[in-house]
Amino acid sequence: MFKKIVVINSKGGCGKTTLSTNLAGYYAANGYPTALYDYDPQDSAARWLQQRSGEMPRIHGVAAAHAPAQGITRSFQMRLPPDTQRLVLDTPASLKRMELIEILRNAAAIIVPILPSTIDSHVTVNFIQDLQAEIRMHAPAAPVAVVANRVRRNTRAFHALLEFLGARDMTPVTCLRDSQNYVHAAAEGAGIHELKSNLTRIDRENWQPLIDWLETQHSHTGISPEKQRVTA
């Protein structure tokens, strides 16, 4: 049985692809047969997969934003290898409702990245608020984790973000720092956990709470299905 993890936010540029690729890289590096489905027409995650060395653990990839090649059905295009244990979905900023339903259906967990800015804070809270009905209908067991992305901890913007989210019972599961390691990893088609550990120790430590949340389903540290009513 595979676990489906959706990375989603209607705000562009918040780091959905960074989270998706690094999450897929973590699982592949740790022995989980992994698949990464790219629903974004920009194909950033799909290009990341093309950059991966043949020596790296294989990740099954699908450019899900595009129609299948001639003579191939959509169901065949979207098939999962039977041994898949982790499926990560990278999503675009804009989705039609039927696309959103397809993405959410049977999700085990939903991750919403957010940047430390006032605009991103309000847009993300409103997005989660609008998402609640679809989650209850199509992924009722899936908890939601907010992940603060590209943060600089000693800044007013970061502390303002924590205060804003905390007041809405949306404390981030983890906070990922603004690090060039992500740029270097992306260029190699790798994840943070696939780079040299002495260079990425802090980043790995930042990731661990999210991994723990996903693998132990500590939904009480995110936005659990019972508490997915958010006020802006």
Please write the tens of the pLDDT for every residue from 82-123.
Answer: 999 999 999 999 999 999 999 999 999 999 999 999 999 999
d(CA 115, CA 57): 30
Strands (E) in the chain, as ranges, are 3-7, 34-38, 59-62, 86-90, 109-114, 144-151, 174-177
Please name the amino acid found at residue 153: R
> pLDDT tens-digit profile of 117-176?
999 999 999 999 999 889 999 999 999 999 999 999 999 999 999 999 999 999 999 999
Q: What is the DSSP letter of 176?
A: E
CATH 3.40.140.10, applies to 3-227: no
Are residues 221 and 213 in contact, defined by beta-carbon separation less than 8 angstroms? Answer: yes
Q: Is the model's pLDDT at 220 over the cut of 90?
A: no
Mapping DSSP to helix (H, G, I), strand (E, B) and coil, where does residue 53 land? coil
13's torsion region: left (phi>0), alpha (psi -120 to 50) or beta?
left
Percent of the chain at pLDDT above 70?
93
53, amino acid identity: S
Dist CA 192 CA 138 (whole Å): 31
Among positive and negative, which fits the CA dihedral 57, 60, 63, 64?
Answer: negative
What percentage of the chain carries pLDDT values higher than 90? 90
Contacts by residues 150-159 (CB-CB < 8 Å, ≥ 24 positions apart)? 150/15, 150/115, 150/116, 150/176, 150/177, 150/178, 151/116, 151/175, 151/176, 151/177, 151/178, 152/116, 152/177, 152/178, 153/177, 155/116, 157/116, 157/117, 158/116
**Where exactly are the structural domains of the chain?**
3-227
